[in-house]
Amino acid sequence: MHTPLAEPRRSIYFDYQVYPAHTASVNAAQVERRPVVIVGAGPIGLTTALDLARYGIPSIVLEAERQVSEGSRAIVFTRRSLEILQQVGVAEQVTAAGLGWRFGNSFYRNQRVFRMEAPHDADDRFPPMTNLQQPCLEQFLVDACQANPLIELRWGNKVTALVQAGDYATLDIDTPVGDYRLEANWVIAADGARSAIRGLLGLQLEGAAYEGRFVIADIKIELDLPTERLAYFDPNWNPGNTVLMHREPGNIWRIDYQLPRDETPEQALSADSLRERINAQLAIVGVQNPQWELDWCSVYSARALTLPKYIHDRVIFTGDAAHLLPIFGVRGANTGFQDCHDLGWKLALTIKGVAGPGLLASYSAERVGAAREIIAEAGKSTRFMTPPTPGHCLVRDAVLSLSLTQEFVRPLYHWRTSRPHDYVDSALNCKGDDNGLYTSGPHQGAPLLNIRLGDDQFLFDCLGASFYLLYFTDANEVPGDIQAQVQALREQGVPLQVLAVTGNRQGAISGADGVIDDHSGHLRSKYGARAGSAYLVRPDQHVCARWQQLGGQALRAAIVTALGNE
């Protein structure tokens, strides 16, 4: 019998709510068959459920626990993650509760040797980074899921077995009062780093595990420091090792520090060891006799691993269940959001029978590719933060020493923050468009660039669960051949919206679903477009085709490709 914790977890800043376990299915007369069952109610599982619901696809989310996750865990969310969270309707809450930031600092021997300034364009709605504790984010997502009639959240339900047969999978689920069986046409494994589904299928992650281990500790303390990333290399109290500090909302500070090689996690998490080391680090930021309270602590080790494919018959892996990425560069949850946003529309259109045979497969190709690139990139910063060999240690230490006076080595401190992935080589990209002729604007495979359209109005605010055609025009009507193809595609069930970007203050445009007034020419200039140009954008906001002069047939061909028919 599965017995999840029934008492609320302890936290200084977050009120845990314990939800009743779902037990109504135990001893049910019949086994239910559902189109989608999502395993795991973490940020990625919940976002996937919300994303699918935008296309009208219902889902059940199974969560072994009866409350949201323990400890702050993922605390830094990138601009791209906020853009994705905006699509599922929680970005406003995250922005209001979170702390935006854009600067990072690296220190060696009390000297700031590197400062990163992440660009923030006036055209961006969201800051480069937003800090918020994971349980707070999960709560926003839980509330949104529970308000959505298409999503059923089943707390206290733990998957104990999974068998695949034909076009569905059967799950055995344990609850506090007994077990039951559930069938799903699709199972989405979003059950995190220690994925039970991964284990049940006997799948192995590929890649490297690094030796360096870190204590992650959250403390409540008032510090007069801005919300910026602070990294301390080789501090006097922790020779050879690295310490990171981040401000979280509510006067909570995350302190990450590397353990000496021979220390066990139990030793490192002892109250005395924590107090001594946290006080030593606080002394470095100028706090003597500090008063603080511990909220949560854990030990973390850097890994850079991925499954070689994310779709196994009717089981689809996403987030940490699919890959484990080093935390330096905030690549965990931020990669997961991009995974599930790539998956949502592809699975939805596959279930609706609108997709070609290659659409769902492109999820695995695009996201495994992204994970492998991230692993290569993350490896560089991880090797700098936690040098794996004596040779790496020596060169890293030489760079630290040189960085006090030598400008040229300082970029090596850059930790290569998570960025939106470009699906440059995606099979969904149009082959015969004018992508190569553009000299500006988002290219094929890249996400759209946000554009400020008004005081509190941005291009991404206009987007939803659909393909979008951004059509740049000075006329009062979208050309008839484009309109005819749009109409025909819609009749086939393809979600497609036409947004006319107007240069002449034209009011209504015949054949457009929405109008963006661009009489200033700002959008046109940023996108390198002119009258008659067009961008075709996938439902996950990635560009799949762009033309300098669009015709109806070209639009149809690009959509056919983008639906995985090639």
Partner 1 sequence: MDNKQLTITDLETVYDQLADALDQAAEGKRELFLVKLALLSAQALGDAEQFMTLTRTALLDL
Chain residues in the site for partner 1 (CB under 8 A): 394-395, 397-399, 401-402, 406, 408-409
Tell me the closest approach of the beta carbon of residue 394 to partner 1, in angstroms. Answer: 5
Distance set, CA 388 to CA 302, 384, 399, 413 (Å):
11, 9, 15, 16
DSSP symbols for 324-391: E--TTTT-HHHHHHHHHHHHHHHHHHHHTT-S-TTHHHHHHHHHHHHHHHHHHHHHHHHHHHS--SHH
Question: What whole-number distance in Å separates Cα of residue 469 and Cα of residue 538?
Answer: 9
Tell me the closest approach of the beta carbon of residue 399 to partner 1, in angstroms. Answer: 7
Closer CB to partner 1, 6 or 394, in the complex: 394
Tell me the closest approach of the beta carbon of residue 105 to partner 1, in angstroms. Answer: 23
Closer CB to partner 1, 179 or 397, in the complex: 397
Closer CB to partner 1, 198 or 396, in the complex: 396
Question: What whole-number distance in Å separates Cα of residue 372 and Cα of residue 374?
Answer: 5
Return the residue matching tokens 């890649």. Answer: 207
Tell me the closest approach of the beta carbon of residue 402 to partner 1, in angstroms. Answer: 6
Question: What whole-number distance in Å separates Cα of residue 316 and Cα of residue 162?
Answer: 13
Closer CB to partner 1, 285 or 412, in the complex: 412
Residue 112, token pair as written in the block: 């700031």
Tell me the closest approach of the beta carbon of residue 194 to partner 1, in angstroms. Answer: 39
Distance set, CA 520 to CA 60, 441, 452, 453, 498 (Å):
47, 17, 12, 10, 21
- 3-state DSSP call for residue 83? helix
Tell me the closest approach of the beta carbon of residue 412 to partner 1, in angstroms. Answer: 10
Closer CB to partner 1, 225 or 398, in the complex: 398
Closer CB to partner 1, 228 or 397, in the complex: 397
H helical segments located in 242-358: 265-268, 271-284, 332-351
Task: Give the chain's end-to-end CA distance (angstroms, integer).
Answer: 48
Tell me the closest approach of the beta carbon of residue 233 to partner 1, in angstroms. Answer: 14
Closer CB to partner 1, 183 or 234, in the complex: 234
The torsion of the CA quartet 345, 348, 350, 355, rounded to 10 degrees, works out to: -50
Closer CB to partner 1, 299 or 402, in the complex: 402
Tell me the closest approach of the beta carbon of residue 413 to partner 1, in angstroms. Answer: 14
Question: What whole-number distance in Å separates Cα of residue 445 and Cα of residue 421?
Answer: 8
Question: What whole-number distance in Å separates Cα of residue 354 and Cα of residue 347?
Answer: 10
